[in-house]
Structure 1
Amino acid sequence: MIQYGYKNKERNYVWKLSKSTHLEIMLCSKFDTALNVTGLIRLVLFLLVLKTDLFHCDTHNSPNIVIFLADDMGYGDLQSFGNPLASTPNIDALFSGGKKFTQFYSSSPICSPARASLLTGRYPVRTGVWNDINPPVFNQEYINGLRHEEITIPEMLSNKGYISGLVGKWHLGVGKNKEFLPLNHGFDFFFGAPNTLGDCPNFKCYYPDDDCEGVDYSPEKAPCQLIFNNELIEQPLDLITLAERQIRAAKSFIQTNACDRKPFFLLYSSLHQHAPQFAGRRYRNTTLGGPYTDSLAELDGEVGDIMQELRESGVLDNTLVIFTSDNGPDRREGTLGGHNGIFRCGKSNTFEGGIRVPTVIYWQGRISPGISTELLSHLDIWPTIRRITGSSTDNIILDGFDFYDVLFQNDESLRQSLLIYDTTPSSVEGPFAIRTVQYKAHYYTQTTSYCEPDGIDIMCRCNPNSTFQSHDPPIIYDILLDPEERDDISNTSYSLVDELAELLAMETAKISFSPSAIKDVDWESQLCCNPGCTPYPYCCKCPSNYTNSLLPLYEDCKLLPRKNRNVCRKK
């Protein structure tokens, strides 16, 4: 809704032009006098002349959507979450100005499945992003990707005229002919890394003097790549300048669509805090915590610069902003890994540290700041965006619940339970755990390769003798009173054990496994800028084709806010 004001002496006529149906006229008058009909007619004629531009400027019925997705961020990493060594003023500002969710969950404790669920609103096993033997992540050697049958958020929004962009990490498959890259899943724009930085041949990459190309080289892996839409433009990927280029890509995307007056969806999928850690010149040696918090500061800078661009482009008031992480932190990295505060274990583990993620939703002037303790999941983002944007889709089996009323009316969440699958799910065992509003029951636990080498907690510590364990009765925690998961109450109530078992059976029966997309391997299919070179894939190195001209900035085209109205300018 956009407002235009018209004053006539003691009267102030405020006009609201709605894109969808009607023109509302409100008369604010200090005196009970007759309406100035002549002035009214003149204003109506004036508005009719401007009708086209006004309709384009009014986008409240099609709000922009921006999701900041951190990579392996710990629940205790942020300054506002108690980390005294971090400097995260921009992310903290979102949490203070938005609605902070303290019980928000990823659908998986590891990257690719978590990202698939966020984009589809479905459990990873439904989408095919699972593997019952190896960790289910799309490394370079896998030739498949997220199934094309899945309806992603961009595909859902396309029928409402949205333009969708992805900046940063994809990690949902490439394919032998790039058939699984983002542009084949509804995105109109992509600038970033197709795979995980875990494939890069280095342990860390900090300005100015780290060896970013060979410290921890895996000879079977091609150097990491930078993709622009479907084109490979850089190999190896320059991590030192990556953040500033990704910021430029996001700015270019926002400006272009703001100038064209088109609603947009931007998934800003940062490569921070995943190993290898990195930070450029702007943020190196700027924090008390050393390299890890320097990289965290760079992530915070990315958020701050993009929020500033939304403000300067005049679209912030009409933009829903979500900040979250794909899963918990990588605890095997020691000082180069994240912090989980009170929560147990980390990435790849089904304890809280692997799946509870810091999350805030911000919409200036629309969502009241505060804290919500409602049980929610990444699965719930898809159906909530559908309702907010008024998008329509064919019948789709979703595992998410619309939490619009939680956001705007502080109502209770529709979600009453959440199935928690491990990193190698099986249709035989089913979920490792189930979370309800009050309780969490672990039926299986397992120490994985993402363990803590010197951890105090035996459930999180690396131990070759501590692998898969079955629990009958399950380990049960009152998760509201015991979020640290320390006091097993399974022996205090047999009826509770039975109730949770019945709920688990009922919810699991609703889930069907799609064939795994993370099985087929072809080491010769890795993206290479120099096809046919030897020794492959180490030889896949070429001069960068990146230039700023790929990401133009339209400084003269802004939707400039002026008091309570927007002034739309053409290119």
Structure 2
Amino acid sequence: MLLLILLIFQFNESYAQTRNKPNVIFIMADDLGYGDIGVYGQKLIKTPNIDALAKNGIKFTQFYAGTSVCAPSRSSLMTGQHTGHTPIRGNKEAKPEGQFPLKGSAYTIAELFKDAGYVTGDFGKWGLGFVGTEGDPNKQGFDQFFGYNCQRLAHDYYPDHLWDNSTRIELPNSLTKSEVYGPDLIQARALGFIAANKTKPFFAFMSYTLPHAGLELPENDKLFLEYRNAFKESPKQVKAVKTGPSLYKGQPYPRAAYAAMVTRLDDYVGQLVSKLKDLDIEKNTLIIFTSDNGPHVEGGNDPQFFNSGGGFRGVKRDLYEGGIRAPMIMSWPSVIKAGSVSDHIGAFWDFMPTFADITSQKKPQKIDGNSILPVLKGQGSQPKHDYLYWEFHENGGRQAVRMGKWKGVRLNAKTNFNSPLELYDLANDQAESKNVAASNPEIIKKMTRIMKNARVENSDYPFTSQANIP
């Protein structure tokens, strides 16, 4: 009898500890601009469910993505390291499918959650290593993966296959036949994952592909028809464009399609929240909503028409604010005060230490982030970054530093690591319209040192050479 009582006590204690751990749902939109959400100023596109997350939680106004394109931005999130340290620093392709793999030695947020006793799932787009490689999501901490392994194949919303862990799921789609809308199938699997794990702590990474190009929706989609009528958009002559494994199908009404895809994404968010409420686990679930980089211009998309950049300069692939400043909303009813707004300066690499604090895990070494749990709890002891650093390996190579109110940008860094820095005072010039480098030589010296010392050269993604370092 004593043994039975002891076992019951231990089970109850273990169960209580498990349930005290919050569920975490991390929603990452693909190529969604800072200004594409209602609470960030969007006037033409409806996002009521995402807006409700902000109303019930906290909205950040100065939070940044890992960098300005997909794979390295996601690597930064996964590893808690900025792009001067994270293993994946570009969209490098690999055969037969997928991108250059995240190294097996990398420690990811999914692995941290698993170490804390969580069930983990990724639903959407991976892009950090093909099935069977060391970058396979199942080898990087995810118990379940369903979606597009290859980010280039994710350009097609009617794919001929998706991946269920290591099993290829054939779909009845082709260039001339569109029967199964990939994102709907992915959403259904995600909702099933949440329902199946309602009694366990879970981490769900919702790596949605919307609203990345190509701009595709199911035939006779209601949202698409509503926006087409609202915008009175004239049809454009288009054709499918194939580059390597990429396929951008033509879209004669790109504005209506983009808006409808954003609102469809918003509907998916609403479905997730409804599922949590139905399962009575909403209060103990942290929901994070953001985007991997700034708005795209592919597939006929028109970010200027929607003010997708929210008034900031630049788009995807730029290290100006429009390319890297991201919408960042978090809702956690039992912890975060509803209707909060924070101007704390943070970035993707802050999530590793934040999740470590939330799950009572030891923070990994060699990370670049600070936990933002004090901000979420409304405490005044939030540590601040001395600086934030980014690099981008395409278009001649670019670097950027955010240091307090100052923002430095260097172009053509791969050919000349000593090329002149542009400097902007974001407190007075958020549009980065006036380069004040000439009148602030000491700030330029500091940023020059940061750009040189904040990074470690990566042989898989060479950025500099001894010849171009001063």
Pairwise TM-score range, normalised by the shorter structure: 0.7 to 0.9
Q: 1 CA distance for matches of 2:298 and 2:100?
A: 28
Length-normalised TM-score, structure 2: 0.81
Match of 1:416 in 2: 386
The letter for the 1-side match of 2:457 is F
Closer, same or farther: CA 332–253 of 1 in aligned 2, 3 Å: closer
Match of 1:36 in 2: none
Q: 1:257 aligns with which of 177, 191, 197?
A: 197
Q: 2:101 aligns with which of 124, 133, 145?
A: 145
Secondary structure of the residue aligned to 1:253 is helix
* Cα drift, residue 495 of structure 1: 2.8
Secondary structure of the residue aligned to 2:334 is coil
Closer, same or farther: CA 277–425 of 1 in aligned 2, 3 Å: closer
Q: 2 CA distance for matches of 1:497 and 1:317?
A: 46
Match of 2:234 in 1: none
Deviations for 1:378-428, whole angstroms, at most 9, x for unmatched residues? 0101110111111236x52101111211221343442121112123399xx
* Cα drift, residue 69 of structure 1: 0.4
The letter for the 2-side match of 1:358 is P
* Cα drift, residue 473 of structure 1: 4.7
**Contact between 1:197 and 1:224, CA under 8 Å: does it hold in 2?**
no
Q: 2 CA distance for matches of 1:235 and 1:468?
A: 45
**Contact between 1:193 and 1:226, CA under 8 Å: does it hold in 2?**
yes
Secondary structure of the residue aligned to 1:279 is coil
Match of 1:486 in 2: 433
* Cα drift, residue 81 of structure 1: 2.2
Match of 1:316 in 2: 282
Q: Which structure has greater helix proportion? A: 2
Q: What are the within-5 Å matches in structure 2 for residues 271-310 of structure 1?
A: 271-280=209-218, 281=221, 283-287=223-227, 288=230, 290-310=256-276
The letter for the 2-side match of 1:89 is P
Q: 1:326 aligns with which of 292, 297, 301?
A: 292
* Cα drift, residue 480 of structure 1: 2.0
Secondary structure of the residue aligned to 2:333 is coil
Q: 2:80 aligns with which of 115, 121, 127?
A: 121
Q: What are the within-5 Å matches in structure 2 for residues 98-117 of structure 1?
A: 98-117=57-76
* Cα drift, residue 130 of structure 1: 2.5
Which of structures 1 and 2 has the bigger CA Rg? 1
- Residue 172 of structure 1 pairs with residue 128 of structure 2: yes
* Cα drift, residue 50 of structure 1: 8.7
Gaps of 5+ in 2: 232-255, 463-470
Q: 1 CA distance for matches of 2:368 and 2:94?
A: 23
Secondary structure of the residue aligned to 1:440 is strand
* Cα drift, residue 59 of structure 1: 4.3
* Number of residues of Structure 1 aligned to a counterpart in Structure 2: 422
Q: 1 CA distance for matches of 2:443 and 2:13?
A: 58
C-alpha RMSD over aligned residues: 3.1
Closer, same or farther: CA 93–148 of 1 in aligned 2, 3 Å: same
Match of 1:80 in 2: 39
Q: 1 CA distance for matches of 2:369 and 2:16?
A: 32
Closer, same or farther: CA 297–106 of 1 in aligned 2, 3 Å: same
Closer, same or farther: CA 384–326 of 1 in aligned 2, 3 Å: same
Closer, same or farther: CA 326–139 of 1 in aligned 2, 3 Å: farther
Match of 1:384 in 2: 354
- Residue 360 of structure 1 pairs with residue 329 of structure 2: yes
Q: 2:371 aligns with which of 402, 417, 423?
A: 402
Length-normalised TM-score, structure 1: 0.67
**Contact between 1:61 and 1:389, CA under 8 Å: does it hold in 2?**
no
Closer, same or farther: CA 190–85 of 1 in aligned 2, 3 Å: same
- Residue 443 of structure 1 pairs with residue 410 of structure 2: yes
Match of 1:89 in 2: 48
Q: 2:442 aligns with which of 480, 495, 502?
A: 495
Match of 1:509 in 2: 453
Closer, same or farther: CA 355–140 of 1 in aligned 2, 3 Å: farther
Q: 2 CA distance for matches of 1:52 and 1:346?
A: 52
Deviations for 1:548-571, whole angstroms, at most 9, x for unmatched residues? xxxxxxxxxxxxxxxxxxxxxxxx
Match of 1:248 in 2: 188
**Contact between 1:197 and 1:275, CA under 8 Å: does it hold in 2?**
no
Gaps of 5+ in 1: 1-45, 206-211, 213-222, 447-466, 519-571
* Cα drift, residue 334 of structure 1: 4.0
Deviations for 1:329-383, whole angstroms, at most 9, x for unmatched residues? 1124443657212011100111111101101111013111311111100010111
The letter for the 1-side match of 2:428 is L
The letter for the 1-side match of 2:184 is E
